[in-house]
Structure 1
Amino acid sequence: MSFIRTFHGDVEPSTLGVTYSHEHIVCRPSYWVEQKADDLLLDDKEKSKLDVLDFKNLGGQTIVDATAIDYGRDVNAVKEIAEETGVTIIGTAGFNKSFLWNAPIPEHVKQVIGDFKTYYEWIETKSIHELADFVIQEIEKGLEGTTIRGGQVKFGTGYNRITPLEEKTLRAVAIAHHETKAPMHSHTEAGTMGFEQIELLKREGVNLENISFGHMDRNPDPFYHEKIAATGAYLSFDGISKIKYAPESTRIQSILDLVRKGYEDQILVSGDTARKSYYKHYDYGLGLENILGKWVPRFVEEANLNGFDGQHLINKFFIENPARCFSFKK
């Protein structure tokens, strides 16, 4: 028996529908607040909701909000967006990468985790099992003391390195995964350290078929992608629309290379839309509508030209694969 845990409660995987597998909807990361990096603060619920409605109007049904506690979640605002739009939203327990942790903890979070000055201090002070217990609570009881339960567990590592505290959170999240059966998600900075993460996860006894590796398109290396896919893991190409990192042709070629090698069942697609300048209704960016509205038609055309059934692959990446990837398998 399997199910998917959402802001609306537990649902059958078959009901998920068209899914963006990695987005951020409303968040105020304290690190970026301290840096006065306004572009990285998605702090207007109504503007975020308009982009979610654009997604819905193009046939979108579910969004995975990959915002962990250390990235400034606003759980109640996202819940309201889910209720007001009818879009299913999946929440995230766990952690992000370590450079975000040297920032003040908001008062409402201190009420949940204790009176620590920074996330770094919290993670350093607590044992692996204490951190795991916190993640388990967020899956089984609710995110940040609410009754809204998380639908996946997340950890992250930095660019070309894994710090001792990042390894600590990875191990805590692995324990929480074993306890709750929640699917896992990995932040890989610029697509690096996937192999090293895999070795650590294997030591923790994690079945890699239960994890998605984020930001794979930031490191468009066919050998790297194939080796990760061979473990059974999902690869998340979640940088769609970010031409500053690579043209869409690079992403599409990377995806089609994996399809040729037989890994079409392990590919996820999304935008990681985490800046005002990426959102249409904040700062006139391409918005949440861009993937379904423009990228999908282009992908279908290119896939067809390369001898594939483009629409079949889109159904895999946005419907069938997310329904499996984000399932709790009891």
Structure 2
Amino acid sequence: MSFIRTLLGDIPPEELGFTYSHEHIVCRPAYWKERDGDDLLLDDKEKSKKDVADFKHHGGRSIIDATAVDYGRDVQAVQEISEELDIHIVGTAGFNKSFLWNANIKPELRVTLGNYKTYNEWIDSKSINELTDFVVKEVEEGLEGTPYKAGQVKFGTGYNRIAPLEEKTLRAVARAHYETKAPVHSHTEAGTMALEQIELLKSESVNLSYMSFGHMDRNPDPYYHEQIAKTGAYLCFDGIAKIKYAPESTRIHCLLELVNKGYENQILVSGDTARKTYYKHYDYGPGLEFIIAKWVPRFIDDANRQGFDGEALVHKFFIDNPARCFTFKK
């Protein structure tokens, strides 16, 4: 039996439709809140909802919300957006990266996590198997005590290194995947350490065709991308519209290099739209409509000029590949 688990329940993979594979919709990361990082607080449900509505207006059908417990999820608000707009949203169990763990655990989570002050303290105090049980519960029972279940599990590592607690959470997430068959997503800081993550995942006997590696366009190295793709994993290019990191031509070049090498079935595309200044209805940014309304036509034109079938590739990147990547296969 194959299905995709959304905040509104399980659906057949063919219902997923046009999908953004890594976004953040409503979240208040404690790390940034404690440091007055207002730009990184997506704290207004109605403004976020307007951006999601724009995405739907242009034909968008589904969003993978990659917000883990340590990044200030608002599970209820995101579920309400899903229900009110009749759009599929997939929630995320697991963890992000270690520097965020110095933040205080929000009070309402202490009933669930125990009387720990910070995420770092909580993760450090728990065994791998105890953390595994926490992730499994969020997939099989619900996120943060709600009835809304996670549709993927996640871990993350830092820039050019894997800290001991990050390895601990990676192994916990790998074991939760093994138990639940939930798809697995990885945060790679600036696109680094994916190959090192792969070695750890192999030691946990993870089938890498269940994996998607995020932020691949932050490290625009076609050789590196090929080494990851050879494992059967998905590569998520989720920095669209972030020109401060690279022009779109660089991202498109990396995408088409993978296509040239035969890996077009392992590519996902999204925006990781996690700042007010990226959102249209918070602070006049490009918004969630940008990729589907503006980037996709540009990509099709650019790909066609280079001898590819741009429309066919868009169908793969946004419809076919997500439908396979985010499926539970039991």
How high is the TM-score relative to the length of structure 2?
Answer: 1.00
Residue 2 of structure 1 corresponds to 2
Q: Secondary structure at the match of 1:177?
A: helix
Partners of 1:187 and 1:321 in 2: CA distance: 19
Q: Secondary structure at the match of 1:165?
A: helix
Say if 2:77 is the partner of 1:77: yes
Give the aligned length: 330
Q: Structure 2: which amino acid aligns with 1:61?
A: R
Q: Secondary structure at the match of 2:150?
A: coil
Q: Structure 1: which amino acid aligns with 2:186?
A: S
Q: 1:255-294 deviations in whole A, cap 9, x for unaligned?
A: 0000000000000000000000000000000000000111
Give 5+ residue unaligned stretches, structure 1: none
Partners of 1:194 and 1:179 in 2: CA distance: 23
Q: Structure 2: which amino acid aligns with 1:53?
A: A
**Within-5 A mapping of 1:22-61:** 22-61=22-61
Please state how far the C-alpha of 1:11 moved relative to its aligned partner. 0.4
Say if 2:217 is the partner of 1:229: no
Please state how far the C-alpha of 1:166 moved relative to its aligned partner. 0.1
Residue 195 of structure 1 corresponds to 195
Q: 1:21-42 deviations in whole A, cap 9, x for unaligned?
A: 0000000000000010000000
Say if 2:148 is the partner of 1:165: no
Please state how far the C-alpha of 1:115 moved relative to its aligned partner. 1.1
Partners of 2:269 and 2:132 in 1: CA distance: 29
Q: Structure 1: which amino acid aligns with 2:303?
A: A
**Within-5 A mapping of 1:142-157:** 142-157=142-157
**Within-5 A mapping of 1:1-330:** 1-330=1-330
Q: Structure 1: which amino acid aligns with 2:204?
A: E
What is the root-mean-square deviation in Å for CA atoms of aligned residues?
Answer: 0.4
Q: Structure 2: which amino acid aligns with 1:91?
A: G
Please state how far the C-alpha of 1:43 moved relative to its aligned partner. 0.1
Please state how far the C-alpha of 1:188 moved relative to its aligned partner. 0.1
Q: Structure 2: which amino acid aligns with 1:168?
A: K
Q: Structure 2: which amino acid aligns with 1:73?
A: R
Q: Secondary structure at the match of 1:197?
A: helix
Q: Structure 2: which amino acid aligns with 1:151?
A: G
Please state how far the C-alpha of 1:8 moved relative to its aligned partner. 1.1
Partners of 1:283 and 1:259 in 2: CA distance: 35
Q: 1:4-29 deviations in whole A, cap 9, x for unaligned?
A: 00011000000000000000000000
Please state how far the C-alpha of 1:57 moved relative to its aligned partner. 0.1
Please state how far the C-alpha of 1:50 moved relative to its aligned partner. 0.2
The runs of 4+ residues in structure 1 deviating greater than 6 Å are: none
Q: Secondary structure at the match of 1:101?
A: helix
Partners of 2:15 and 2:198 in 1: CA distance: 31
Q: Secondary structure at the match of 1:151?
A: strand
How high is the TM-score relative to the length of structure 1?
Answer: 1.00
